[in-house]
């Protein structure tokens, strides 16, 4: 337990003061200063927790960090001026005179250091000030508008319902107070674990310091240092948890509108996808499926027989995701209202009366998810959905959103018996609603994985839900902003993120929708969505040309499912996101932070995506270090250069890094369960060795936790390709592997010691090969995926080695 200082509350401006005393503990030290007490805990050799309080009782967030400190070797040393704590990877110096902190590498380079002000208070507000280092950049903070490099900008975390938000809006719906600092070939991360309203200043209106502060509570932050940004993200997700494997169907295309009704319209939308041969896995039901917007109910006129409708959708190969808002209508006889009221589960005012807020159903009470009994009750309510075999849930309006946008600060939250107010509870509300939805539905689904989508959240939300960027607008600016938002969420540990393709507010033009669906195909969460009283926004609603473009890019998304699902597996193991800001792999390349290139990103380790506005037929792209193949033509471009690329509105600029390995399905019909029995393994020749972990399981259950999975490491070197022996007991759905080779010269090939000859029964040698349906464009200008050579062979669980020579 963190010790406290027996002093009267100081209401003025003050810092920590002098270090008075300290003692060594099992995982660090704790001590007191003139005006505060502190505890420094070593979680790993790379992670230090700094917990500082000026209060009699520490005030912390019990929900985000789920990891305990590990036993780690560390040293505590002291001289006249400093106390020094060191591990094998990190050194912390504490100045005795001021209790200011400095973090250094083991060879003495300054990573991060307090400014003269250190950690200090103005009334309740606590702030830590950090010296701005030469050339320092800042990335991350999750769902924040603005540039990739946040230097010179300031932000706050306060979950807010912001309909049709402008490009520079702040704050938005989801709070993840974690950022990464970069300077002088060094990188570090800071996670401020405080759910009160927090503020981050990266040299905005000053050129002396960066700072982070909380309006109340303790200064409680984690300092992380690695050489690589991806390892900082991994350490952050080690603290706050990693996502579970999603159901395979949830990474297919999802179609939504506010709202599809009645049931005949829902079935008509689904049938259109099948008749038009556009793959899709999900139809989403917004609030109009409910009886007067009451959660856990069905409109008896618009959806007279939901069980029958749901069965018809299942027969067509669709899953259904239903909207779940937190507001419980105040209505006598409404079972959910009566039960929660009787069990004392709603948020209250200080006088014990229930808080009332107005939202879609009218006047509502709101469940207090900081109370265990509420979470148990919420789980029980979800039987109304799971009994109908619904396994997808959309948590919306959970900032909390109410008409008027002024949730009173004095509302009381239970906080597991440590009662507090909405000042502490607001930012955590959506997180706990998603936790309750995920854990509750999971317990009811008989070994099936649920899918949960949320608008609001807090650090650690990745454990329970995918996150989308709320009520965006139908504009080129929001399309480009969406890419940055998703990449920024990836930098803060949220791998499963996306945006409303086509824009929710307003009407997309034909070209805008076509471009957006191309980019959306390379987003972890892929959903088309549009607002009430706007034009229809299904892939076929914009004319035949756009329909054909949409069909081809949605099909391409599905063909990439073996690659994408493997990336989700990687995210469960390391926390590294699917959509990767170039700052992850090219951290110290100044070009990637320029306005012209900050929207570019890697989708997984192989694919370079260059989002471009619908108004452009040419765009300038920056190719980072390395060699890059054009995805559709195999044209090779050397990296570390800018280049103007033609990009008519039916072709997305898309490139593959040399030495990459991309597993793909050969065909796709209706959904993620119709990907055929042949896997194409696309390998792009390069001068560097590379590896890819291919992962597969049944995509639906938790049987993978009992080794029912297929995991194989695929290794490329300039002399051979090796596919490891399978780990796990799951038999792959792909009975045949077609090895598609890009950029290879006229070599001869030897598979498992046997030279390949044309027309042999065991190995079939095919040349040339084209592997992509034509994109809709003018005759004779059709981009394709091209491979010089293709080798097809039976898929077994045994190791495979392919060698070649000129």
Q: Give the range among 488-492, 592-596, 764-768, 799-803 with minimum mean pLDDT.
A: 764-768
Write the DSSP symbol of residue 46: T
Q: pLDDT-derived band of residue 765, with 50, 70 and 90 as boundaries?
A: very low
The whole-number average pLDDT for the span 712-721 is 96
Q: Is position 742 within any domain? A: yes
pLDDT (tens digit per residue) in 155-212: 999 999 999 999 999 999 999 999 999 999 999 999 999 999 999 999 999 999 999 9
Pairing of strands 319-324, 282-285: parallel
Residue 763 has pLDDT above 60, yes or no: no
Residue 779 has pLDDT above 60, yes or no: no
Give, to the nearest 10 degrees, the angle between helix 476-491 and helix 229-240: 70
- Among 225, 255, 290, identify where a domain stops: 225
Please choose, from the candidates 279, 254, 255, the residue with its C-alpha nearest in 3D space to the C-alpha of residue 773: 279
The reported pLDDT for the residue numbered 746 is 62
Residue 768 has pLDDT above 70, yes or no: no
- CATH code where residue 698 lies: 2.60.40.1180
Residue 508 has pLDDT above 60, yes or no: yes
- Between 779 and 96, name the one with better pLDDT: 96
* Dist. CA 484–CA 512, nearest whole Å: 17
Sole residue written with tokens 């507001």: 327
pLDDT (tens digit per residue) in 323-338: 999 999 999 999 999 9
What is the number of H-type helices and E-type strands within the chain? Answer: 12, 52
Q: pLDDT-derived band of residue 751, with 50, 70 and 90 as boundaries?
A: confident
The reported pLDDT for the residue numbered 761 is 33
- Among 225, 260, 286, identify where a domain stops: 225
Q: Is position 585 within any domain? A: no
The reported pLDDT for the residue numbered 125 is 97
* Dist. CA 611–CA 520, nearest whole Å: 10
Question: 486-499 burial string, b = 16+ CB within 10 Å, else e?
Answer: bbbbbbbbbbbbbb
The whole-number average pLDDT for the span 110-138 is 97
The reported pLDDT for the residue numbered 181 is 98
- Between 189 and 783, name the one with better pLDDT: 189
Q: Is position 555 within any domain? A: no
The reported pLDDT for the residue numbered 398 is 98
Residue 259 has pLDDT above 60, yes or no: yes
The reported pLDDT for the residue numbered 777 is 30
- CATH code where residue 74 lies: 2.60.40.1760
Q: Is position 119 within any domain? A: yes
Q: Is position 423 within any domain? A: no
The whole-number average pLDDT for the span 375-388 is 97
The reported pLDDT for the residue numbered 759 is 34
The reported pLDDT for the residue numbered 788 is 53
Q: Is position 258 within any domain? A: no
Q: Is position 97 within any domain? A: yes
The whole-number average pLDDT for the span 725-741 is 94
Pairing of strands 209-214, 497-501: unpaired
pLDDT (tens digit per residue) in 636-646: 999 999 999 99
Token pair for 397: 């309006």
Look up the domain containing 681 and give its range. Answer: 661-805
Report, as residue numbers or ranges, the catalytic residues: 396, 399, 471
Domain count of the fold of the chain: 2
- Between 775 and 576, name the one with better pLDDT: 576
Sole residue written with tokens 């079935």: 267
Q: pLDDT-derived band of residue 757, with 50, 70 and 90 as boundaries?
A: low
Q: Is position 398 within any domain? A: no
Longest dimension (CA), the chain: 88
Sole residue written with tokens 């506010």: 258
The reported pLDDT for the residue numbered 281 is 98
Q: What is the CA radius of gyration of the chain?
A: 27
Q: Which residues in 250-327 belong to E strands, given as ranges? A: 254-255, 282-285, 319-324
- Between 129 and 1, name the one with better pLDDT: 129
- Contact 103/113 with Cβ under 8 angstroms? yes
Q: Give the range among 537-546, 615-624, 729-738, 773-782 with minimum mean pLDDT.
A: 773-782
pLDDT (tens digit per residue) in 514-548: 999 999 999 999 999 999 999 999 999 999 999 99
3-state secondary structure of 764: strand
Q: What percent of the chain has pLDDT over 70?
A: 94
- Among 225, 246, 266, identify where a domain stops: 225
The reported pLDDT for the residue numbered 513 is 98
Q: Which residues in 610-670 belong to E strands, given as ranges? A: 618-623, 627-630, 636-638, 641-646, 654-657, 661-665
With 0-12 / 13-18 / 19 or more C-beta atoms within 10 angstroms meaning exposed / middle / buried, residue 803 is middle
Residue 10 has pLDDT above 80, yes or no: no
Q: What percent of the chain has pLDDT over 90?
A: 89
**For all residues of the chain together, what is the average pLDDT?**
93
The reported pLDDT for the residue numbered 415 is 97
Sole residue written with tokens 């004392």: 344
> Which contiguous run of DSSP H or E holds residue 513?
helix 510-520
Question: What secondary structure does DSSP assign to 411-463, as a single string?
Answer: -EE-GGGS-EEHHHHHHHHHHHHHHHHHHHHHHHSTTBPPEEEES-B-TTGGG
pLDDT (tens digit per residue) in 672-700: 999 999 999 999 999 999 999 999 999 99
Query: Could you give the dihedral angle defined by the CA atoms of residues 414, 418, 424 and 427, in that order, rounded to the nearest 10 degrees?
Result: -60
Give the dihedral sign, CA 406/410/412/416.
positive
* Dist. CA 267–CA 306, nearest whole Å: 11
Please choose, from the candidates 557, 551, 466, the residue with its C-alpha nearest in 3D space to the C-alpha of residue 513: 551
Residue 772 has pLDDT above 70, yes or no: no
Write the DSSP symbol of residue 300: T
3-state secondary structure of 24: strand
Beta bridge partners of 591: none
* Dist. CA 117–CA 209, nearest whole Å: 10
In sequence order, which residues have a C-beta less than 8 Å from that of residue 710 and are 6 or more positions away? 694, 695, 696, 697, 726, 727, 728, 730, 731, 732, 797
Give the dihedral sign, CA 752/754/760/765.
positive
Please choose, from the candidates 125, 123, 116, 99, the residue with its C-alpha nearest in 3D space to the C-alpha of residue 37: 99
């Amino acid at each position: 337990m963190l010790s406290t200082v027996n002093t009267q509350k100081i209401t003025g401006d003050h810092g920590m003061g002098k270090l008075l005393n300290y003692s060594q503990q099992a995982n660090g030290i704790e001590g007191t200063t003139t005006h505060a007490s502190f505890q420094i805990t070593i979680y790993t050799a790379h992670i230090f927790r700094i917990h500082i309080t000026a209060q009699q009782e520490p005030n912390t967030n019990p929900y985000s960090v789920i990891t305990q400190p590990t036993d780690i070797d560390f040293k505590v040393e002291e001289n006249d001026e400093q106390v020094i704590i060191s591990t094998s990877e990190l050194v912390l110096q504490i100045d005795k005179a001021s209790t200011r902190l400095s973090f250094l590498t083991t060879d003495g380079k300054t990573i991060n250091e307090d400014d003269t002000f250190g950690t200090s208070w103005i009334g309740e507000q606590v702030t830590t000030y950090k010296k701005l280092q030469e050339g320092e950049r800042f990335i991350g903070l999750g769902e924040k508008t603005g540039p990739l490099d946040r230097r010179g900008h300031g932000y706050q975390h306060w979950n807010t319902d912001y309909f049709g938000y402008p490009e520079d809006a702040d704050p938005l719906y989801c709070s993840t107070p974690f950022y990464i600092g970069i300077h002088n070939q060094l990188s570090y991360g800071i996670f401020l674990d405080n759910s009160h309203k927090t503020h981050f200043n990266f040299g905005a209106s000053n050129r002396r310091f960066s700072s982070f502060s909380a309006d109340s509570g303790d200064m409680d932050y984690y300092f992380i240092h690695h050489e690589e940004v991806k390892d900082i993200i991994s350490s952050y997700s080690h603290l706050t948890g990693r996502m579970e494997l999603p159901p395979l169907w949830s990474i297919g295309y999802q179609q939504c509108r506010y709202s599809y009704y009645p049931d005949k319209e829902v079935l008509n939308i689904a049938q259109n996808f099948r008749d038009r041969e556009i793959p899709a896995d999900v139809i989403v039901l917004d609030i109009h499926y409910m009886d007067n917007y009451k959660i856990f109910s069905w409109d008896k006129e618009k959806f007279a027989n939901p069980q029958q409708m749901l069965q018809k959708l299942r027969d067509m190969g669709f899953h259904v995701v239903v909207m779940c808002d937190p507001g419980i209508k105040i209505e006598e006889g409404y079972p959910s209202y009566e039960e929660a009221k009787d069990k004392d589960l709603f948020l209250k005012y200080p006088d014990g009366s229930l808080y009332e807020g107005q939202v879609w159903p009218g006047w509502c009470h709101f469940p207090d998810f900081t109370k265990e009994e509420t979470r148990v009750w919420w789980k029980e309510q979800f039987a109304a959905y799971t009994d109908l075999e619904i396994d997808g849930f959309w948590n919306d309006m959970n900032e909390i959103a109410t008409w008027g946008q002024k949730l009173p600060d004095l509302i009381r939250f239970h906080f597991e018996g440590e009662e507090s107010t909405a000042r502490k509870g607001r930012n955590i509300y959506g997180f706990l609603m998603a936790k309750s939805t995920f854990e509750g539905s999971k317990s009811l689904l008989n070994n099936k994985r649920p899918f949960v989508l949320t608008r609001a959240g807090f650090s650690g939300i990745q454990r329970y839900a995918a996150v989308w960027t709320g009520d965006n607008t139908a504009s080129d600016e929001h399309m480009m902003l969406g890419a940055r938002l998703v990449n920024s969420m990836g930098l803060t540990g949220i791998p499963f993120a996306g945006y409303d393709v086509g824009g929710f507010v307003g009407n997309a033009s034909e070209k805008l929708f076509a471009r957006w669906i191309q980019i959306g195909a390379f987003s972890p969460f892929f959903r088309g969505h549009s607002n009430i009283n706007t034009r229809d926004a299904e892939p076929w609603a914009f004319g035949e040309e756009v329909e054909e473009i949409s069909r081809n890019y949605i099909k391409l998304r599905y063909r990439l499912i073996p690659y994408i699902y493997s990336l989700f597996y990687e995210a469960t193991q390391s926390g590294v996101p699917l959509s990767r800001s170039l700052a992850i792999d090219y951290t110290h390349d100044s070009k990637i932070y320029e306005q012209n290139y900050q929207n570019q990103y890697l989708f997984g380790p192989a694919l370079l995506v260059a989002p471009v506005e619908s108004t452009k037929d040419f765009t300038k792209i920056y190719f980072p270090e390395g060699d890059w193949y054009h995805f559709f033509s195999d044209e090779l471009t050397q990296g570390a250069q800018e280049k103007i690329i033609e990009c008519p509105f039916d072709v997305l600029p898309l490139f593959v890094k040399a030495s990459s390995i991309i597993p793909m399905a050969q065909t796709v019909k209706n959904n993620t369960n119709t990907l055929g029995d042949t896997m194409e393994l696309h390998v792009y020749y390069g001068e560097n060795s590379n590896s890819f972990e291919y992962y597969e399981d049944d995509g639906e259950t938790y049987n993978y936790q009992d080794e029912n999975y297929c995991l194989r490491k695929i290794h490329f070197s300039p002399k051979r390709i090796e596919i490891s022996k399978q780990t796990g007991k799951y038999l792959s759905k792909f009975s045949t592997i077609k090895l598609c080779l890009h950029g290879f010269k006229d070599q001869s090939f030897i598979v498992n010691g046997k030279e390949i000859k044309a027309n042999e029964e065991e190995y079939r040698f095919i040349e040339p090969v084209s592997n992509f349906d034509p994109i809709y464009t003018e005759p004779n200008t059709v981009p394709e995926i091209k491979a010089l050579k293709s080798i097809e062979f039976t898929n077994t669980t045994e190791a495979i080695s392919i060698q070649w020579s000129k």
